[in-house]
Amino acid sequence: MDTATHNRRPIVAGNWKMHGSRAENQALIEALIASGSVDDSATCVVFPPFVYLADVARQLAGTSIELGAQDVCAEAQGAFTGEISAAMLADVGCAWTLVGHSERRTLFGEDNTLVARKFAAALARGLTPVLCVGEQLAEREQGQTSAVIERQLDAVLSVSGAAGLAKAVVAYEPVWAIGTGRNASPEQAQEVHALIRARVASHDAKIASALRILYGGSVKAANAAGLFGMPDVDGGLIGGASLKAEDFLAIWSAAAEV
Q: Is the Cβ–Cβ distance between 99 and 133 less than 8 Å?
A: no
Tell me the CA end-to-end span of the chain in Å, nearest whole number: 11
Q: What are phi and psi of 213, to 5 degrees?
A: -120, 120
Please list the active-site residues.
Answer: 101, 173
- 99 and 115 in contact (C-beta within 8 Å)? yes
Q: Where are the alpha helices (DSSP H) in the chain?
A: 3-7, 22-35, 53-60, 86-91, 102-107, 112-124, 137-141, 145-165, 186-201, 205-210, 221-228, 245-256
